[in-house]
Chains A and B, each alone.
Chain A
Amino acid sequence: MEWPWQYNFPPFFTIQPNSDTRKKQLEAWCSLILNYHKQKKSYSIDVTEILNSQLCHNKEIDRKLSLDGLYTVLDELCRTGHLEWKDPKTKKQCLIISKSMT
Chain B
Amino acid sequence: TGRHRGIMGIERSIQQKQKATDSNITQSFQDLSKLIEKAKDMVALSKTIATKIKDKQGDITEDETVKFKSYLLSMGIPNPVTRETHGTGDKYNTELAKELSKALMNPLKESGGIMTLTDVYCRVNRARGMELLSPEDLINACEMLEILRLPLRLKTFDSGVMVLQLQSHDEEQIIKDTTKTVEEHQSMTSEELSQNAGISVILAKERLLLTEKVGGVCRDESVEGLRFYPNLFLTKCS
Contacts and interface: CB of A to CB of B under 8 A. Distances in A.
Interface of A: 5-6, 9-11, 13-14, 16-18, 20-21, 24-25, 28, 62-63
Chain A interface, DSSP helix/strand/loop, else mixed? helix
Nearest to B187: A10
Given A14-B220, A16-B219, A20-B215, A9 B234 contact: no
Contact of B213 (A6, A11, A18, A63): A18
Interface of B: 187, 212-213, 215, 218-222, 227, 229, 231-234, 236-237
Given A16-B219, A24-B233, A24-B234, A10 B227 contact: yes
A28 B218 CA distance: 15
A21 B236 contact: no
B219 A9 contact: no
A14 B226 CA distance: 10
Contacts of A16: 218-219, 233
9 contacts: A6-B232, A10-B220, A11-B220, A14-B218, A16-B218, A18-B215, A21-B233, A25-B233, A62-B222
A6 to B, nearest CB: 8
Given A11-B220, A14-B222, 7 more contacts: A11-B219, A14-B221, A17-B212, A18-B213, A20-B234, A21-B231, A24-B237
